[in-house]
Amino acid sequence: MADETIKTMKQFHCEMLELSFRFSSEDMDQDAFLKAAEINREEYTDEDGDFATAVSFGAHEPETDYHVHMRIRFFKNGQNKIEISYHDSRAEGMEDVRPPYAEDCARWVGGFLKVDKVTARISAGYTFDKSFSPVISLPFPLISSEKALAGSLITGLSILFPREVTE
Protein backbone atom coordinates (compact mmCIF):
# COMPACT_ATOMS: atom_id res chain seq x y z
CA MET A 1 0.00 0.00 0.00
CA ALA A 2 2.58 2.57 1.08
CA ASP A 3 4.96 1.85 -1.80
CA GLU A 4 2.18 2.36 -4.36
CA THR A 5 1.00 5.49 -2.54
CA ILE A 6 4.48 7.02 -2.52
CA LYS A 7 5.09 6.15 -6.19
CA THR A 8 1.84 7.92 -7.08
CA MET A 9 2.80 10.92 -4.94
CA LYS A 10 6.16 11.28 -6.68
CA GLN A 11 4.59 10.82 -10.12
CA PHE A 12 2.23 13.75 -9.53
CA HIS A 13 4.66 15.93 -7.49
CA CYS A 14 2.49 15.56 -4.41
CA GLU A 15 3.85 16.70 -1.03
CA MET A 16 1.11 15.18 1.12
CA LEU A 17 -1.49 12.52 0.53
CA GLU A 18 -4.16 11.80 3.12
CA LEU A 19 -6.42 8.79 3.29
CA SER A 20 -9.45 9.42 5.48
CA PHE A 21 -11.97 6.76 6.31
CA ARG A 22 -15.02 6.48 8.52
CA PHE A 23 -16.33 3.35 10.15
CA SER A 24 -18.66 2.28 12.93
CA SER A 25 -17.45 1.03 16.30
CA GLU A 26 -18.59 -2.48 15.36
CA ASP A 27 -16.29 -2.45 12.33
CA MET A 28 -13.04 -2.25 14.31
CA ASP A 29 -11.46 -3.97 17.28
CA GLN A 30 -10.62 -0.68 19.00
CA ASP A 31 -9.27 -2.28 22.18
CA ALA A 32 -6.79 -4.45 20.27
CA PHE A 33 -5.78 -1.47 18.12
CA LEU A 34 -5.15 0.81 21.11
CA LYS A 35 -3.26 -1.93 22.96
CA ALA A 36 -1.02 -2.62 19.94
CA ALA A 37 -0.41 1.12 19.51
CA GLU A 38 0.27 1.44 23.25
CA ILE A 39 -2.31 4.21 23.58
CA ASN A 40 -4.21 4.70 26.84
CA ARG A 41 -7.88 5.25 25.93
CA GLU A 42 -8.71 7.13 29.15
CA GLU A 43 -5.87 9.61 28.64
CA TYR A 44 -7.29 10.81 25.31
CA THR A 45 -11.03 10.57 26.02
CA ASP A 46 -12.78 13.87 26.75
CA GLU A 47 -15.64 14.61 29.12
CA ASP A 48 -18.18 13.83 26.35
CA GLY A 49 -16.77 10.33 25.89
CA ASP A 50 -15.07 11.07 22.55
CA PHE A 51 -11.52 9.78 21.97
CA ALA A 52 -8.98 11.70 19.87
CA THR A 53 -5.24 11.39 19.46
CA ALA A 54 -2.50 11.50 16.85
CA VAL A 55 0.51 9.29 16.28
CA SER A 56 3.46 9.50 13.91
CA PHE A 57 5.35 6.78 12.09
CA GLY A 58 8.95 7.11 11.05
CA ALA A 59 10.80 5.08 8.49
CA HIS A 60 12.29 1.69 9.18
CA GLU A 61 14.19 1.25 5.93
CA PRO A 62 17.10 3.65 5.25
CA GLU A 63 15.91 4.34 1.67
CA THR A 64 12.41 5.39 2.79
CA ASP A 65 12.08 9.11 2.14
CA TYR A 66 8.66 9.81 3.69
CA HIS A 67 6.92 9.75 7.06
CA VAL A 68 3.33 9.29 8.20
CA HIS A 69 0.96 10.94 10.67
CA MET A 70 -2.29 9.36 11.81
CA ARG A 71 -5.23 11.08 13.51
CA ILE A 72 -7.61 8.76 15.31
CA ARG A 73 -11.10 9.71 16.47
CA PHE A 74 -13.49 7.31 18.17
CA PHE A 75 -16.75 9.09 18.88
CA LYS A 76 -19.22 8.14 21.56
CA ASN A 77 -21.97 7.94 18.93
CA GLY A 78 -20.07 5.08 17.23
CA GLN A 79 -19.14 6.96 14.05
CA ASN A 80 -15.34 6.95 13.94
CA LYS A 81 -12.64 8.33 11.70
CA ILE A 82 -8.97 7.67 10.99
CA GLU A 83 -6.84 9.91 8.78
CA ILE A 84 -3.48 8.67 7.53
CA SER A 85 -1.25 11.40 6.04
CA TYR A 86 1.82 10.54 3.99
CA HIS A 87 4.43 13.31 3.74
CA ASP A 88 7.20 13.36 1.15
CA SER A 89 10.07 14.02 3.54
CA ARG A 90 11.97 11.78 5.85
CA ALA A 91 11.36 13.00 9.39
CA GLU A 92 14.71 13.35 11.09
CA GLY A 93 14.75 11.76 14.51
CA MET A 94 11.69 9.62 13.74
CA GLU A 95 13.46 6.39 12.84
CA ASP A 96 11.21 3.66 14.18
CA VAL A 97 12.84 0.77 15.96
CA ARG A 98 9.64 -1.29 16.26
CA PRO A 99 6.54 -1.75 14.14
CA PRO A 100 4.32 -0.37 12.88
CA TYR A 101 6.48 1.63 10.50
CA ALA A 102 5.64 4.33 7.98
CA GLU A 103 6.10 1.71 5.28
CA ASP A 104 3.24 -0.46 6.56
CA CYS A 105 1.03 1.61 8.90
CA ALA A 106 -2.09 1.58 6.65
CA ARG A 107 -1.94 -2.19 6.28
CA TRP A 108 -1.37 -2.47 10.04
CA VAL A 109 -4.50 -0.40 10.79
CA GLY A 110 -6.46 -2.50 8.30
CA GLY A 111 -5.62 -5.58 10.34
CA PHE A 112 -7.87 -4.28 13.14
CA LEU A 113 -10.88 -3.74 10.89
CA LYS A 114 -13.57 -6.40 10.95
CA VAL A 115 -14.86 -5.52 7.47
CA ASP A 116 -13.29 -6.19 4.09
CA LYS A 117 -13.99 -2.75 2.61
CA VAL A 118 -14.18 0.83 3.83
CA THR A 119 -14.73 3.91 1.74
CA ALA A 120 -11.80 6.30 1.87
CA ARG A 121 -11.52 9.93 0.90
CA ILE A 122 -8.27 11.11 -0.56
CA SER A 123 -6.86 14.61 -0.09
CA ALA A 124 -3.59 15.80 -1.55
CA GLY A 125 -1.35 18.80 -1.15
CA TYR A 126 0.89 20.19 -3.87
CA THR A 127 3.38 22.99 -4.23
CA PHE A 128 4.53 23.73 -7.75
CA ASP A 129 7.47 25.84 -8.78
CA LYS A 130 7.56 27.94 -11.95
CA SER A 131 8.61 24.97 -14.12
CA PHE A 132 5.10 23.48 -13.90
CA SER A 133 2.22 24.51 -16.14
CA PRO A 134 -1.07 23.88 -14.34
CA VAL A 135 -4.18 22.58 -16.05
CA ILE A 136 -6.28 24.89 -13.86
CA SER A 137 -4.48 28.06 -12.83
CA LEU A 138 -5.09 29.17 -9.26
CA PRO A 139 -6.07 31.61 -7.99
CA PHE A 140 -8.82 32.79 -10.34
CA PRO A 141 -11.65 35.28 -9.78
CA LEU A 142 -14.98 34.12 -8.40
CA ILE A 143 -17.80 35.27 -10.62
CA SER A 144 -20.91 35.83 -8.54
CA SER A 145 -23.84 38.22 -8.39
CA GLU A 146 -23.59 38.07 -4.57
CA LYS A 147 -22.26 41.46 -3.42
CA ALA A 148 -20.52 40.01 -0.35
CA LEU A 149 -18.35 37.83 -2.65
CA ALA A 150 -17.23 40.65 -4.95
CA GLY A 151 -13.47 40.58 -5.51
CA SER A 152 -13.06 37.06 -4.08
CA LEU A 153 -10.59 34.57 -5.52
CA ILE A 154 -10.81 30.79 -5.87
CA THR A 155 -7.62 29.44 -4.27
CA GLY A 156 -8.38 25.71 -4.18
CA LEU A 157 -10.60 23.10 -5.74
CA SER A 158 -12.23 19.81 -4.90
CA ILE A 159 -12.66 17.55 -7.90
CA LEU A 160 -15.34 14.88 -7.97
CA PHE A 161 -14.45 12.43 -10.73
CA PRO A 162 -17.21 10.60 -12.63
CA ARG A 163 -18.10 7.32 -10.87
CA GLU A 164 -16.93 5.16 -13.79
CA VAL A 165 -13.43 6.65 -13.48
CA THR A 166 -13.08 5.71 -9.82
CA GLU A 167 -14.34 2.12 -9.95
pLDDT tens digits, 4-15? 666 767 776 778
Q: Which residue has the higher pLDDT, 37 or 161?
A: 37
Domains in the chain: boundaries: 2-133
Chain segment 122-131, per-residue pLDDT in tens? 888 877 677 7
- Alpha carbon distance 91, 83 (integer Å): 18
Question: What pLDDT is attached to residue 51?
Answer: 98
User: So what's the architecture of 2-133 in CATH?
Assistant: 4-Layer Sandwich (3.60)
Give tens-digit pLDDT for 35-92: 999 999 999 999 999 999 999 988 888 788 888 999 999 999 999 999 999 988 876 6
CB of 70 closer than 8 Å to CB of 55: yes
- Summarize pLDDT for 125-149 with one digit per residue, the tens: 877 677 777 777 888 999 999 999 9
